[in-house]
Amino acid sequence: MIQSITLNLPCDLSKAEWDKVTAVYGSMDGWLEEHSSWFGPWDSERFISASVEPSGLLVEGNIDPLFFRGWVTKLCAKLTEALGREVYDAEV
């Protein structure tokens, strides 16, 4: 089952901020730089991916819902620390 969440990161971050986001991506469990996703390519049976959308950073995955929630919570904490602003579910 596909899980998804939109985080409150605007699509117009500066290059320096996107560099920090990229560094956080690489620090997360399961990062596969060659696919720019985690745990597998976006079309595999188990994956998490992120894309920049006008509404924010869309994170989606085909992964256990409980695992996804915990993983995204860790991602938000790391992004908050790296960017110096709170990162959270944009729909809350």
pLDDT for 25-56, tens place per residue? 999 999 999 999 999 998 899 999 999 999 99
Cα separation, 63 vs 60, in Å, equals 9
Domains of the chain (ranges; CATH) run 2-83 (3.30.310)
39: alpha, beta or left? (left if phi > 0; alpha if psi -120 to 50): left
**8 pLDDT higher than 90:** yes
Q: Give pTM, 2 decimals.
A: 0.95
Instruction: Calculate the dihedral angle through the C-alpha atoms of 79, 84, 88, 92, rounding to the nearest 10 degrees.
Output: -170
First and final CA of the chain: distance in angstroms? 22
Mean of the pLDDT values across residues 2-8?
97
The pLDDT > 70 percentage for the chain reads: 100
**92 pLDDT higher than 80:** no
